[in-house]
Amino acid sequence: MLVLVAPGQGAQTPGFLTPWLDLPGVEDRLRALSAAVDLDLVHYGTKADADEIRDTAVAQPLLVAAGLVSATALGEVSPGAVAGHSVGEITAAVLAGVLDDTAALTLVRKRGLAMAEAAAITATGMSALLGGDPETTIPHLKKLGLTPANVNGAGQIVAAGTLEQLAALEADKPEGVRRVVALKVAGAFHTEHMGPAVDALAEAARELTPADPQLTYISNKDGKAVATGAEVLDRLVGQVANPVRWDLCMETFKELGVTALLEVCPGGTLTGLAKRALPGVKTLALKTPDDLDAARELIAEHANA
């Protein structure tokens, strides 16, 4: 069984969309999506530097657009399930038939803007913890007032909170944690600090008419499959202020009997986690069109397994 997954913010790198524009129809599609959200996705995906595409309001629509064009380039795909990490959940919603391209880009553009505005209210950030055990690390973070914003499995946890709280974490690491690495993000995503963004996103979501998923859609909230489009949309709204439980998503992959995981562009992060947490599951990350042939072979072997 194949699961198709989409990465979240931080996966983007300067120029990562450049080789994809050589494929027929990709530039036209990106320009159409750019017009729909008043953001030059072609420029940001090919010419912009790291600082420009780190901007939350830019990175999020850019990632969703990249995931969609790379998934389309695969041709006919029938995965057993789909999932996305953080903003990648919106990509997954399109892959599952819940939203169309334009609705998804409109929603993610408003999501990025709202999260950027929320992040500007208080000086906050996120830090990745290297090493340690979740049973020890999570209580320690809560003691410091921090949120385990991304519980990614494979021993990886990302803490989020105020800069003062993150500084306290540097000085007082949980037992077993070797290093605390500050992430280059604009704020404490997936925490209470994103509360204002929830309200803005809820207003945007009311303008959409989601369809029910045509594929098994696994949610970051609790790793559970979601049966209705209305619930998918509701979870997409609430998730901006709640932790990403990718560990639970991967537990569900195990329960479903997933034998292969394919990560759409810009792939790499989720396949890396899967290699450590899902032994025996074949993985492949779409980075450039050069990966398409291998991806199609993986699909042929596992899509109906």
State pLDDT tens for residues 146-158.
999 999 987 889 9
The average pLDDT across 130-148 equals: 93
Confidence tier at 305 by pLDDT (50, 70, 90): low
Which CATH superfamily does the domain covering 124-182 fall into? Malonyl-CoA ACP transacylase, ACP-binding (3.30.70.250)
Asked whether the domain spanning 124-182 has the same topology as the one spanning 2-119+191-298, the reply is no
Taking the alpha carbons of 127, 128, 133, 134 in that order, is the dihedral positive or negative? positive
Q: Mention every residue, 6+ apart, whose C-beta is less than 8 A from residue 295.
A: 74, 262, 284, 286
**Per-residue pLDDT reduced to its tens digit, 273-304:** 999 999 999 999 999 999 999 999 999 999 76
Does the pLDDT of residue 174 top 80, yes or no? yes
Q: Between the CA atoms of 50, 56, 62 and 65, what dihedral angle is there, to the nearest 10 degrees?
A: 160
The average pLDDT across 24-53 equals: 96
Q: Is 136 helix (H, G, I), strand (E, B) or coil?
A: helix
**Which residue numbers are catalytic?**
86, 190
What is the predicted pLDDT for the residue at 186? 82
Tell me which fold the domain 2-119+191-298 belongs to: Malonyl-Coenzyme A Acyl Carrier Protein; domain 2 (3.40.366)
By CB atoms closer than 10 A (0-12, 13-18, 19+), residue 21 is middle
Domain ranges across the chain = 2-119+191-298, 124-182
What is the predicted pLDDT for the residue at 303? 78
Confidence tier at 122 by pLDDT (50, 70, 90): very high
What is the predicted pLDDT for the residue at 49? 96
**Per-residue pLDDT reduced to its tens digit, 63-72:** 999 999 999 9
The DSSP secondary structure of 65-106, one letter per residue, reads HHHHHHHHHT-S---SEEEESTTHHHHHHHHTTSS-HHHHHH
Q: Which residue has the tokens 């979240």?
A: 8
Is residue 92 a contact partner of residue 43, using CB atoms and an 8 Å limit?
Answer: no
pTM to 2 decimal places: 0.95
Is residue 33 a contact partner of residue 102, using CB atoms and an 8 Å limit?
Answer: yes
Q: Per mean pLDDT, which range of 57-61, 97-101, 133-137, 183-187 is the poorest?
A: 183-187
Q: Per mean pLDDT, which range of 84-93, 100-109, 184-193, 256-265 is the poorest?
A: 184-193
Q: Tell me the C-alpha distance between 274 and 50, whole Å.
A: 26
